[in-house]
Amino acid sequence: MSSIGLIRDLSELFLWVGIAGAGIALICAIVALIALAMGAAGVAGGASAAWIGGALLSLASGFSGQWVPAIVAAGGLVVALVLGAVARSIVQAFERRPKPEPMASSAAAAPSSAPAPVLATPRIVGVHSDL
């Protein structure tokens, strides 16, 4: 088999390797985005390190003339880092909000069977962080 035939046969394989690498890189970028939003720097660093492996695999599609998987992989981390920083600032803004105070009851000494006091401001449910 000539070298041209071998390159043509391998270019199809390299395309699928590149697409798989872009998928791995995008998954790692999403993990880095979530880790940055939650403030887990170690997880974000590990996901970014694994992203490098996926990005290198996505470069294999360049042997078949397809550069889209490599561009998608590179753009995925850039978008994840920007959105992770924006999401982290939003999470920190929710964490800095003052805690709601219970409303003062009209009676000085309420019996123990009285209902729980009503909160002055509604509480946002679903945003929780122990940082």
Encoded tokens for 80: 């994840």
Beta bridge partners of 102: 119
Residues 73/21, Cβ–Cβ less than 8 Å? yes
Write down the pTM of the prediction: 0.69
Q: What are the angstrom distances between the C-alpha of 110 and each of 56, 107, 117, 120?
A: 68, 6, 10, 18
| pLDDT tens readout for residues 4-45 | 888 888 888 999 999 999 999 999 999 999 999 999 999 999
Residues 6+ apart with CB under 8 A from 51: 25, 28, 29, 32, 73, 76, 77
Task: State which amino acid sits at residue 14.
Answer: F
Residues 6+ apart with CB under 8 A from 129: 38, 39, 91, 95
| pLDDT tens readout for residues 90-113 | 989 888 887 777 766 555 555 556
d(CA 101, CA 123): 11
